[in-house]
């Protein structure tokens, strides 16, 4: 039976790298993965999925209106899919997260989602909230805080490196806009 997996972590934990490694492993064995990423994340100048260590791959881009179930199933009918891999899964809508579950349950295609658990305020992203509730398997990837403890939070910073306390839930950025911290240092940065 296929499963729905949610690999979650703070920034800089290697989520995209792990996804790209999984895709490589499937292809090396002659199996076809289907890769997806959020259309609103347009930071990469190369291919849509790019890791900080330089790995990258082509992928379909989803928007809130994309029917991931239908499009993945259509591809599966043309070329059997070994799995569906989704980067930036925090940007899935609740319906899209359930579509991922349908792919596993009805089409027997494993779906591996990779994304942030929480935003810069410590609030769950809608896609992550649903995946945390329905995934067959939850896997936490580890990032490291500046103090050496496990980083679980994503602190948004301004151009001067100061903590940002307000704003839209989604603001695309990398190391220039976000710092992965443990909960203690996250709280201290917001209080300061």
Q: Which residue has the tokens 């791959």?
A: 57
The sheet carrying 33-38 orders its strands as 60-62, 33-38, 83-86, 111-116, 4-9, 137-140
Question: Could you give the count of Cα atoms lying within 13 Å of 12 in the half-sphere of its Cβ?
Answer: 20
Active-site annotation holds for 88: yes
Q: Which of the residues 88, 106, 146, 188 is marked catalytic?
A: 88
**Could you give the CA distance from residue 62 to residue 39 in angstroms, rounded to a whole number?**
5
Catalytic residue positions, numbered: 88
């Amino acid at each position: 039976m296929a499963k729905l997996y949610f690999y979650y972590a703070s920034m800089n934990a290697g989520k995209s790298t792990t996804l790209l490694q999984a895709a490589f492993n499937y292809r090396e064995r002659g199996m076809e993965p289907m890769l997806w990423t959020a259309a609103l994340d347009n930071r990469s100048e190369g291919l849509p999925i790019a890791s900080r260590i330089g790995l990258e791959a082509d992928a379909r881009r989803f928007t809130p209106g994309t029917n991931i179930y239908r499009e993945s199933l259509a591809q599966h009918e043309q070329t059997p899919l070994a799995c569906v891999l989704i980067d930036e899964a925090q940007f899935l809508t609740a319906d899209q997260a359930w579509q991922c579950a349908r792919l596993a349950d009805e089409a027997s295609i494993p779906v591996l989602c990779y994304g942030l658990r929480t935003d810069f305020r410590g609030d769950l992203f809608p896609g992550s909230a649903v995946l945390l509730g329905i995934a067959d398997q939850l896997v936490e990837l580890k990032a490291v805080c500046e103090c050496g403890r496990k980083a679980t939070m994503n602190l948004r910073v301004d151009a001067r490196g100061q903590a940002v306390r307000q704003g839209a839930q989604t603001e695309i950025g990398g190391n220039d806009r976000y710092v992965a911290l443990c909960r203690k240092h996250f709280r201290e940065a917001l209080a300061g």
